[in-house]
């Protein structure tokens, strides 16, 4: 089982988060802390795999202790400042969830974390780049916006992965040939990626003078 430490200053909220963790197959709550000092002590004693960490703690900010916890971190907090988000990811946080949120938003990310851990396998395993990419994709699968109506999640995933791994701009024709789908289909899915900010659209002018749309993966996008 994957052990989870819940760190939350509000006793009722901490109980809710613990109940949500307990509902996810493969996870178990190993402890609950309400202060930064308790979080550090319990983390050292219990060795959790994952910490759900609030930033607003009474003695020290959660973000300040993130790097000291020696565990995977999900920030679960009402702190939505850009500086805090950057600091959390710089400290190694795997996810950042802003309160208030629906229970499914947390549980879906927790289920994705279980898949991520499963795909990474044992600590002694040697991983290929493809295996690492699959694990990272699984971790952030729940962060992504839902597939637009009328689109296939499978095709959307194929186009997304191909563009992310391309290493440079690609046209719809490029990806259509690579994936064995029609150019129109590739164009539709690429346009959807550009609409939600995961791809950047630019124009390429060919010998005929007619511009052709080309897309590259947005450098700030994770999934």
Identify the structural domains of the chain with CATH numbers, from first to last. 2-142 (3.40.50.2300), 144-217 (1.10.10.10)
User: Which residues, 6 or more positions from 193, have their beta carbon under 8 angstroms from its beta carbon?
Assistant: 159, 160, 163, 199, 215
pLDDT at 144 over 60: yes
Q: Residue 210: pLDDT band by 50, 70, 90 thresholds?
A: low
Q: Which of 48, 220, 39 is nearest to 143 (CA)?
A: 220
- Candidate from 64-73, 144-153, 157-166 with smallest mean pLDDT: 144-153
Residue 220 has pLDDT above 70, yes or no: no
The C-alpha atoms of residue 81 and residue 116 are separated, in whole angstroms, by: 27
203: left (phi over 0), alpha (psi -120 to 50) or beta: beta
pLDDT at 32: 97
- pLDDT score for 121: 77
Q: What's the pLDDT at 73?
A: 96
Can you give the pTM of this predicted structure?
A: 0.66
Rounded Cα distance between 219 and 179, Å, is: 23
């Amino acid at each position: 089982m994957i052990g989870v430490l819940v760190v939350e200053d509000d006793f009722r909220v901490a109980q809710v988060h613990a109940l949500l963790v307990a509902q996810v197959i493969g996870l178990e709550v190993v402890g609950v802390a309400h202060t930064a000092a308790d979080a550090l002590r319990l983390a050292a004693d219990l060795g959790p795999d994952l910490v759900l960490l609030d930033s607003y703690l009474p003695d020290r900010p959660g973000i300040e202790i993130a790097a000291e916890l020696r565990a995977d971190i999900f920030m679960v907090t009402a702190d939505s400042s850009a500086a805090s988000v950057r600091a959390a990811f710089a400290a190694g946080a795997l996810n950042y969830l802003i309160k208030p949120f629906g229970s499914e938003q947390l549980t879906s990310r927790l289920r994705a974390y279980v898949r991520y851990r499963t795909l990474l396998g044992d600590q002694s395993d040697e991983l290929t780049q493809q295996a690492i990419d699959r694990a990272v994709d699984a971790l952030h699968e729940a962060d992504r916006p839902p597939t637009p109506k009328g689109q296939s999640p499978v095709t959307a995933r194929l186009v997304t992965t191909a563009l992310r791994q391309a290493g440079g701009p690609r046209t719809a024709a490029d990806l259509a040939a690579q994936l064995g789908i029609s150019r129109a289909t590739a164009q539709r899915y690429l346009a959807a990626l550009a609409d939600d900010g995961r791809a950047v659209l630019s124009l390429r002018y060919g010998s005929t003078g007619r511009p052709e749309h080309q897309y590259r993966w947005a450098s700030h996008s994770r999934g």
